[in-house]
């Protein structure tokens, strides 16, 4: 609706009307934009091209100017090939330990009850390397709930694990053995039955783009990106835990933990999202500067911002456009900052009172793999 209103204004062509439209849409999107503002780029910029390792498009934080990330700016990750699927020939099989295996066409799935969710998807590797900081986006996903489909198939008592198979595959190597494996991720039956999970065919009002899993993907609100299997072709019920490449070898967090004065190395499969925030952009109108950012990964209560080594200041969290599993946008005015180089750090607090860990918190400092990098993000900026 907001989009249509904006388009009408732009069609009318007058610069004044366009300005009004922009103001209105910024209110509609509840994004802290100011007229005539300019964005000051961060000094620390990711530079590497990540296409060769399967990352297409990354969020450019300075460009963040709406709650919803448009499809053409949405990041995409693929571990193997990027299948182009012929919808006419495509089916989703639901099989394994079920009473009644199903084989569903896209029409069958689209004829089922529709459910939408606004969910911020973040790759668990995001901020795990200095060159990978834009593996995140917020979209309105639409599809049909997964649970009734599993109920219809009738999961047998032994069926405790739900495996989501993608159409994409690649060669993997274990010791001296090479074989081809499809993308596959699993969840316990209990997790899979969450009423939040949808089999998704639509993203921001458009058919799911090829890069994001056309024709069908799992959207598992509250889980890291890796759980949201794209290019789905099969959902399989099994009788034991499933530990493919992307469950049990890659996407494994290795962390040193203290137990009775001993250091214990724990390995856990990446699963649910973690509390996090990041400064997105600094804007300027004359001598009035403003820091805008996002917070996600848990129900956000409040956000604080630290400039250089100064005190933590409470940011204003925009509560006008929110959803349970979507990021919240926050802002902090920064009047007349002294010229020179500064750092900007944010930390989010959730409604249970947890705080996003500092980089030297043992939960981050003693983490030896780059997954689940939810430590506080510091950006550098130069003010004239």
Ligand X SMILES: Nc1nc2c(c(=O)[nH]1)N[C@H]1C(S)=C(S)[C@@H](COP(=O)(O)O)O[C@H]1N2
Interface residue list for ligand X (CB under 6 A): 74-79, 121, 123, 166, 168, 183, 212, 225-226, 228-231
Q: Which does 318 bind (CB under 5 to 8 A by kind): ligand X, Mo ion, none?
A: none
CA trace torsion 85, 205, 220, 79 (10° rounding): 40
Q: Which does 166 bind (CB under 5 to 8 A by kind): ligand X, Mo ion, none?
A: ligand X
Query: 85, 146, 226, 245: which one contacts Mo ion (CB under 5 A)?
Result: 226
For the chain, what is the radius of gyration of the CA atoms?
22
3-state helix, strand, coil in the chain (%, to 5): 20, 40, 40
Q: Which does 79 bind (CB under 5 to 8 A by kind): ligand X, Mo ion, none?
A: ligand X
Cβ-based nearer residue to ligand X, 78 or 331: 78
- Residue 360: φ, ψ to 5°: -95, 5
Q: Which does 229 bind (CB under 5 to 8 A by kind): ligand X, Mo ion, none?
A: ligand X
Q: Which residues make Cβ contacts (< 8 Å) with residue 101, sequence separation at least 6?
A: 93, 94, 95, 153
Q: How far is the CB of 236 from ligand X (least distance, A)?
A: 14
Cβ-based nearer residue to Mo ion, 77 or 275: 77
123 binds Mo ion (CB under 5 A): yes
Is cis: bond before 52, omega within 30 of 0? Answer: no
Q: How far is the CB of 77 from Mo ion (least distance, A)?
A: 5
Q: How far is the CB of 311 from ligand X (least distance, A)?
A: 35
Give the whole-angstrom CA distance, residue 282 versus residue 32: 11
**Whose CB is nearest to Mo ion?**
123
Binding residues for Mo ion, rule CB under 5 A, total 4
Query: Between β-strands 232-238 and 92-96, what pairing exists: parallel, antiparallel or unpaired?
Result: parallel
Place of tokens 């009002």: 205
- DSSP H or E stretch at residue 38: strand 38-40
Cβ-based nearer residue to ligand X, 168 or 372: 168
Cβ-based nearer residue to Mo ion, 232 or 315: 232
Contact between 382 and 340 under an 8 Å Cβ cutoff? The reply is: yes
Considering only residues 295 to 354 of the shown chain, the ones binding Mo ion according to CB under 5 A are: none
Cβ-based nearer residue to Mo ion, 76 or 284: 76
Give the whole-angstrom CA distance, residue 78 versus residue 120: 18
Q: How far is the CB of 23 from ligand X (least distance, A)?
A: 31
Q: How far is the CB of 371 from ligand X (least distance, A)?
A: 10
Give the whole-angstrom CA distance, residue 97 versus residue 162: 10
Point out which span in 116-124, 263-271, 331-339, 357-365 binds Mo ion (CB under 5 A).
Answer: 116-124
**Whose CB is nearest to ligand X?**
225
Query: 225, 297, 337, 375: which one contacts Mo ion (CB under 5 A)?
Result: 225
Residue 254 Cα to chain centre, angstroms: 21
Cβ-based nearer residue to ligand X, 200 or 315: 200
Q: How far is the CB of 36 from ligand X (least distance, A)?
A: 33
Extract the runs of DSSP E, i.e. beta strands, from 158-310: 161-174, 177-188, 198-203, 206-207, 217-219, 232-238, 252-259, 262-269, 276-285, 288-296, 300-307
Cβ-based nearer residue to Mo ion, 244 or 306: 244
| Distances from the Cα of 320 to the Cα of 30, 181, 330, angstroms | 6, 44, 11
Residue 241 Cα to chain centre, angstroms: 25
Cβ-based nearer residue to ligand X, 19 or 254: 254
Spell out, one character per residue from 59 to 78, where the chain touches Mo ion: x when CB under 5 A holds, - when not.
------------------x-
Give the whole-angstrom CA distance, residue 175 versus residue 197: 36
Bridge partner list, 316: 331
Q: Which does 78 bind (CB under 5 to 8 A by kind): Mo ion, ligand X, none?
A: ligand X
Point out which span in 10-18, 218-226, 303-311, 339-347 binds Mo ion (CB under 5 A).
Answer: 218-226
Cβ-based nearer residue to Mo ion, 48 or 319: 48
Q: Angle, nearest 10°, between helix axes 15-28 and 2-12?
A: 170
Q: How far is the CB of 41 from ligand X (least distance, A)?
A: 24
Site for Mo ion, rule CB under 5 A: 77, 123, 225-226
């Amino acid at each position: 609706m907001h989009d249509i209103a904006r388009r009408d204004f732009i069609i009318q062509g007058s610069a004044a009307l366009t300005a009004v439209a922009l103001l209105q849409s910024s209110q509609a999107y509840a994004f802290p934009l100011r007229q005539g503002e300019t964005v000051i780029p961060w000094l620390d910029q990711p530079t590497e091209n990540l296409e060769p390792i399967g990352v297409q498009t990354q969020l450019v934080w300075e460009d963040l100017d709406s709650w919803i990330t448009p499809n053409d700016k949405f990041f995409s990750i693929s571990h193997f090939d990027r299948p182009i699927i012929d919808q006419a020939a495509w089916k989703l099989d639901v099989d394994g330990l079920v009473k009644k295996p199903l084989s569903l066409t896209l029409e069958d799935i689209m004829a089922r009850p529709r459910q939408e969710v606004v969910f911020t998807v973040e790759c668990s590797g995001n901020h795990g390397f200095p060159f990978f900081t834009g593996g995140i986006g917020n979209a309105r996903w639409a599809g049909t709930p997964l649970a009734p489909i599993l109920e219809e198939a009738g999961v047998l008592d032994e069926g405790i694990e739900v495996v989501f198979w993608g159409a994409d595959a690649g060669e993997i190597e274990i010791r001296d053995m090479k074989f081809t494996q499809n993308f596959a991720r699993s969840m316990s039956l209990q997790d899979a039955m969450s009423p939040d999970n949808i089999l998704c065919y639509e993203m921001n009002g458009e058919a799911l783009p090829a890069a994001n899993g056309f024709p069908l993907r799992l959207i598992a609100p509250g889980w890291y990106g890796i759980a949201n299997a794209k290019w789905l072709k099969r959902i399989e019920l099994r009788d034991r835990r499933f530990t493919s490449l992307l469950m049990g070898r890659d996407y494994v967090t290795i962390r040193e933990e203290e137990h009775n004065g001993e250091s214990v190395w724990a390995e856990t499969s990446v699963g649910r999202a973690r509390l996090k925030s990041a400064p997105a952009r600094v804007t300027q109108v004359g001598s009035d500067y403003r820091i805008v950012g996002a917070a996600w990964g848990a129900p956000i209560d409040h956000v604080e911002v630290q400039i250089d080594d100064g005190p933590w200041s409470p940011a204003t969290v925009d509560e006008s456009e929110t959803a349970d599993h979507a990021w919240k946008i926050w802002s902090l005015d920064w009047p007349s900052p002294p010229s020179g180089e500064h750092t900007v750090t944010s930390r989010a607090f959730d409604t249970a009172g947890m705080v996003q860990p500092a980089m030297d918190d043992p939960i981050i400092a003693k983490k030896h793999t780059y997954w689940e990098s939810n430590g506080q993000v510091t950006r550098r900026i130069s003010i004239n």
